[in-house]
Amino acid sequence: MTDGTAVITAAARAVDARKTYGTGEAAVHALAGVTVDFPQHAYTAIMGPSGSGKSTLMQCVAGLDRLTSGSAYIGETDISTLSKTELTLLRRDRLGFIFQQYNLIPSLTARENILLPLTLAGEKPDEAWLDEVVGTVGMADRLGNLPSQLSGGQQQRVAVARALVPRPDIVFADEPTGALDSRTGIEILTFMRRAVDETGQTIVMVTHDPHAASYADQVLFLADGQIVDRMANPTADRVLDRMKRFEG
Ligand SMILES: Nc1ncnc2c1ncn2[C@@H]1O[C@H](COP(=O)(O)OP(=O)(O)OP(=O)(O)O)[C@@H](O)[C@H]1O
C-alpha cells in the first residue's frame, strides 16, 4: 500500500497470545502462543479437547478477559491497550455474544431483550432490519412474551436476534447449542449460517459438537493452548475423525 491505509481482512485476530493462570509450579498455560486470524464474513468454529483453551481464546479475543502477553485485535483495534471502560464500549458497540445459557433479562419481553444492546447504546432500531432478523429466527409472533413464557430454543432464538440486530462486526458464540435438543440446535445453527451467507456477518463459535462445527467455513483445533490444525469446509465426519486423534 502506498497511501498508508491498511487492508483489513480479519475481523479479529490474536498475535502470540498467551494466557497463564497461577504462578510457579501451579501455572497453567491456557494459551501458549496463539497466532490466528478470524476472517471477515466467515463462520469459524473452535474445537479441541476439554481444557485446551477454547473459551480462554474466545474470551481474550472478545475483550471479556485479558491476555498475559501478546495482542488481540478487533479489526485494527489492539484491545490489549484499551482501558476497562473502552473495552466495555467496544464490546457494546462492535461485538455480539451468544452463550450456552441465553442470559436474557427475565423482566423484559423478547422484543425488549432483543433491543437491549441498542437501548443501552441510546440508539433507535432499524425497524426493517429488526423485522428481517426476527422473521429469520421465527420469533415474530412471540415478541411480547417474557423469557419464562418461551421454550429454551425460543429463548436462544431471542439471544441470537439480540446479537445480530445491532449489526456487530463479529459475533462470539460459546456453545450456543449446548443446552438445546438436536432439532432446535439445528435451527439455531441454520440461522447463524444464514446470517453469514445472507448478511455477511462474521461468527466465531466455540463448540464440542462436530455437527455444530460442520456449519462453519473453517474449524480451528486447539490442544494444550496452541492451534494444532485447521480444516476448511468441514463435515461432521471429518471433524469427528480429527477429534478422535486427540484421544488416547
Ligand atoms: N480462571 C481460571 N483459573 C485457573 N485456571 C483456569 C481458569 N480458567 C481456565 N483455566 C484453565 O485453563 C485451561 C483452559 O481452559 P478453557 O476453559 O479455556 O478450556 P476449554 O477448551 O474451553 O475447555 P472446555 O472444553 O472444558 O470448556 C484449563 O486447564 C483450565 O483449567
pLDDT given for residue 248 in this prediction? 60
Average model confidence (pLDDT) across the chain = 92
Query: Which residue puts its alpha carbon closest to atom 3 of ligand 1?
Result: 21
Asked if residue 2 has pLDDT above 70, the reply is no
Whole-angstrom Cα distance, residue 113 to residue 143?
9
Q: Is the CB of 53 under 6 A from ligand 1?
A: yes
- Domain ranges for the chain: 41-67+77-244
Whether ligand 1 lies within 6 angstroms of the CB of 54 is answered as yes
**From atom 23 of ligand 1, which residue's Cα is the shortest distance away?**
51
pLDDT digits (tens, 9 = 90+) for 26-67: 999 999 999 999 999 999 999 999 999 999 999 999 999 999
Cβ of 100 closer than 6 Å to ligand 1, yes or no, is no
**Alpha-carbon dihedral sign for residues 157, 161, 163, 169:** positive
CA of 30 to the centre of ligand 1 (A): 6
Closest of 167, 182, 203, 174 to residue 102, by C-alpha: 174
Residue 46 near ligand 1, beta carbon < 6 Å: no
User: CA-CA-CA-CA torsion for 136, 74, 121, 83, nearest 10 degrees?
Assistant: 150
Average pLDDT in the 219-246 region? 95
CA of 187 to the centre of ligand 1 (A): 29
230-240 pLDDT tens trace: 999 999 999 99
Instruction: Give the span between the Cα atoms of 163 and 217, in whole angstroms.
Output: 20
For the segment 78-92, what is each residue's pLDDT rounded down to a tens digit?
999 999 999 999 999
pLDDT, tens digit, 9 for 90 and up, residues 103-118: 999 999 999 999 999 9
Ligand 1: distance of its center to the CA of 130 in Å?
36
- CA 184/CA 125 separation, integer angstroms: 27
pLDDT at residue 1, rounded to an integer = 46
Q: Is 165 in the pocket of ligand 1 (CB under 6 A)?
A: no
Q: How many angstroms does the Cα of residue 72 sit away from the middle of ligand 1?
A: 18
Give the three cell numbers for residue 45. 468454529
* pLDDT, position 184: 84
**What's the CATH fold of domain 41-67+77-244?**
Rossmann fold (3.40.50)
For the record, the C-alpha cell of 114 comes out as: 432483543
Substitution candidate for ligand 1 out of 20, 21, 23 with most atoms within 8 A of CB: 21
Q: What is the pLDDT of residues 136-182, one digit of tens each?
A: 788 889 999 999 999 988 998 999 999 999 999 999 999 999 888 88
Ligand 1 atom closest to 55 (CA): 22
Choose which residue among 20, 23, 28, 227 to substitute to test ligand 1 binding: the one with the highest number of ligand atoms within 8 A of its C-beta.
28
- Prediction pTM value: 0.92
Decide: helix, strand or coil at residue 21: strand
